[in-house]
Amino acid sequence: MFCLHCTLFPGLKTFLSHHCYEGTVSFLPAQHTVGSPRDRKPCRAGCFVCRQSRQQLEEEQKKALYGLEAAEDVEEWQVVCGKFLAINATNMSCACRRSPRGLSPAAHLGDGSSDLILIRKCSRFNFLRFLIRHTNQQDQFDFTFVEVYRVKKFQFTSKHVEDEDSDLKEGGKKRFGHICSSHPSCCCAVSNSSWNCDGEVLHSPAIEVRFHCQLVRLFARGIEENLNVETI
């Protein structure tokens, strides 16, 4: 038996709490891929983007194998700091009945990358506007507080960890939780969030994720082009 309030109430509680998480996101852009997160080119059977991206990646790996260049040494890490309401990474659109186009409509399953979506701290009203965009055909990335990048590797370091490192060096400085870090008088206990990785909870706030290109051969149905749906 499906209990509607069992899913609605926790979601409403999370939305009203409006917690933000302060930290640093570092990532390597996926330069071997074809396209971008906002090019409106969905991943389908026989996807051109996935095929071309794999060919370019194989060329990079051959160069690295023969010592011509190491891709990660040449490429520069990009760093984004601040307070985030959400940090999402998806290597497929994650479309469903409630969100027909998904979290990232142009994400590709086999190009060796992920779409990294950063939602910076904003008002509840603007965050609600962002969520509603997932239910229609409008671009959910078209907000000033939303950033999306196509990456092949990323790291997140909570401000807690950064503060702890600096506290150890400075010798026993008092630490504050990231949810109320803007209030100097707050002496509450340190509170960390957790990551949801495809339904599995990862309790460590610091995380490092790397994406590989087509390591697993997938046999599936359901990603074919739907001829009844008009292409926008």
Structural domain span for residue 113: 18-159+203-210
Q: What is the distance between the alpha carbons of residues 133 and 140, in angstroms, rounded to a whole number? A: 5
Q: What is the distance between the alpha carbons of residues 52 and 72, in angstroms, rounded to a whole number? A: 20
138 domain-assigned = yes
Is the Cβ–Cβ distance between 91 and 216 less than 8 Å?
A: no
Query: Average pLDDT of the chain?
Result: 78
Give the number of domains in the chain: 1
pLDDT band per the 50, 70, 90 thresholds, residue 98: confident
pLDDT at 4: 45
Is the Cβ–Cβ distance between 102 and 52 less than 8 Å?
A: no
**Beta pairing partners, 116:** 89, 149
53 domain-assigned = yes
29-87 tens-digit pLDDT:
988 787 889 988 888 878 888 888 877 777 777 776 776 555 555 668 999 999 999 99
If you write DSSP's letter for every residue of 16-71 in order, what string do you get? Answer: HH---EEEEEEEEE-TTSSS-TTS-----TT-HHHHHHHHHHHHHHHHHHTTS--H
- For residue 160, report the phi and psi dihedrals to the nearest 5 degrees: -55, -50
% pLDDT > 70, the chain: 69
131 domain-assigned = yes
196 domain-assigned = no
Task: Check pLDDT > 90 for residue 115.
Answer: yes
220 domain-assigned = no
Q: Measuring CA to CA, which residue among 96, 94, 90, 132 is closest to residue 114?
A: 90
pLDDT at 219: 67
Which helix (H) or strand (E) covers residue 210, if one does?
A: strand 207-210
221 domain-assigned = no
CATH code, domain with 137? 2.60.200.40
pLDDT at 7: 58
Q: What is the distance between the alpha carbons of residues 54 and 68, in angstroms, rounded to a whole number? A: 19
204-222 tens-digit pLDDT:
888 899 988 887 776 666 5
114 domain-assigned = yes
Q: What is the dihedral of CA 218, 215, 34, 154, to 10 degrees?
A: 120
First to last CA, the chain: 38
Q: What is the distance between the alpha carbons of residues 176 and 200, in angstroms, rounded to a whole number? A: 28
170 domain-assigned = no
pLDDT at 178: 47
pLDDT band per the 50, 70, 90 thresholds, residue 145: very high
**Beta pairing partners, 25:** 80, 156
